[in-house]
Amino acid sequence: MIYEGYGVSVTVAGAVIALFIASVVVATLFWMLHPPASYVQRIAAEAESELERLVGSIIVVFSPEINSAHMMALAVKLARGERSELLAIYVVEVPYTLPPDAEMPEEERSALDALGAAETIANRSNVTMRAETIKARSTKQAVLDMAKREKANLIILGSYREGKYSGAPLGRTIEEIAADAKCDVLIGVEGKHGTLLIDEGSASPAPAPAFTTEE
C-alpha cells in the first residue's frame, strides 16, 4: 500500500496495472493505425517527396520567341503549394552587330508587359516573385546561366510564338534549353497547336473521337 486516505487506496499493484492498461491500449492503437505501406503507396510517396526537390526553385522564361504567359499561372500554383522560390525572367537577345548594353526599347517594353502580367498573377495568389530582364547574346545561354546561378530545380517554358517557326517542333531555343539544362524543364505547348486530334471537317473540335478503337 502506497497511500490510503480521503477515500483513495493507492497500491503498487494498482498503479502498475493502470500503467500497463494505458500502455497496452496506446501501443496497440498506434501499431494498428500505422500499417506498412504497399508497393503502390511507396511509389506514390517517393513521387511526392520528389515534388519538393522538383519545384524548390522555379524559373519562368519569357522572350520575344517564347510565350510563357499561359504557364505563369501554373508556375504560381506550384510555387504556392510547395512554397517554392519563383523567378520570372525576360531575355532580350542583343544581336552581335550591337554592343551588349545597347538600348532596345521595343523589346524592353515587351519585357515590362510580360513581367508585369506575371507579377499580377503572382500577387493575386499571394506568392512572392522576383522578376528580371536580361540582355544576352543567346537566350539559351542566358537561361542556363540563370538556372545555374539560382540553383533552379525547374525551368518552365511556354511555346514558340506563332509566325516564328524555326524548323524545330517546339522552337529551336526551347529545344536547346531542354537538351542542355541540368535541371528539369517543363514545356507548355498550347492546345490550339494540337490539330491532329481535331476533326478537320468541323469548325469546332470534336468531343472525344481520339480514343475510339477499331474493331
Partner 1 sequence: MGSSPKPELRRSVTPWGSFSWGYSDVGADIFVGLGLVLAAAAGASNVAFLFAGIVYVSIGLAYTELAATYPVAGGGQYFVLRGLGDVFGFIAGWAVLLDFTIDITLFAWTAIDYASQLLPILVGSNHPWAHFIMTLLCIVGLCGLNVLGVRESTAFQGFVSAMDVASETLILCFGFLFAFRPDLLIHTMRFDWPTPANLMLGTSLAIISFVGLESISQAAQETQRPASIIPRTSIGLILTILVYALAYSNLALGLVPWHPIVDVHGHPVQFWQIFPNSYPGGADNQGKAVALLAAQVPYYGALAAFYVPVLGAVLLLISSNSGVFGSSRIAYAMSSTNLLPSIFQRVHARYRTPVISIVAFCGVAVLELLFAAMPSLDPHFVGIYDRFFHGESGLDFLADLYAFGAATSYSFVFLALIALRLCDPLSPRKFKIPLNIPMTFRGERVEFPVVGIIGFLGIFSILMFTLQTHPLGRIFGPSWLLLGIVLYFSYRKRKGLPILHSQKRDWRKAQVEILRSAGELELMDEYLANLKASDERRAKAQTP
Tell me which residues touch partner 1 (CB under 8 A).
Answer: 6-11, 13-15, 17-19, 21-22, 24-25, 28-29, 31-33, 35-36, 38-40
Q: Which is nearer to partner 1, 28 or 49 (CB)?
A: 28
- The H-or-E segment that residue 207 falls in is none
Q: Which is nearer to partner 1, 26 or 112 (CB)?
A: 26
Q: Which is nearer to partner 1, 40 or 196 (CB)?
A: 40
Which set of grid coordinates corresponds to residue 48?
Answer: 511526392
Q: Which is nearer to partner 1, 19 or 98 (CB)?
A: 19
Q: Which is nearer to partner 1, 10 or 168 (CB)?
A: 10
Which set of grid coordinates corresponds to residue 153?
Answer: 530545380
Number of helices and strands in the chain (H, E): 6, 9
What minimum distance in Å lies between the beta carbon of 16 and partner 1?
Answer: 9
Cβ atoms within 10 Å of 121's Cβ, excluding its own: 19
Closest CA to 89 of 161, 143, 125, 141: 143
What minimum distance in Å lies between the beta carbon of 28 and partner 1?
Answer: 5
What minimum distance in Å lies between the beta carbon of 122 and partner 1?
Answer: 37
Query: 138-151 b/e with 16+ CB inside 10 Å = b?
Result: ebbebbbebbeebe
List strand residue ranges (DSSP E) for the chain, in order: 3-5, 8-10, 57-62, 66-67, 85-93, 129-136, 154-157, 159-160, 184-187
What minimum distance in Å lies between the beta carbon of 31 and partner 1?
Answer: 7
Q: Which is nearer to partner 1, 96 or 211 (CB)?
A: 211
What minimum distance in Å lies between the beta carbon of 10 and partner 1?
Answer: 6
Q: What is the sign of the dihedral through the CA atoms of 164, 168, 172 and 178? A: positive
What minimum distance in Å lies between the beta carbon of 201 and partner 1?
Answer: 22
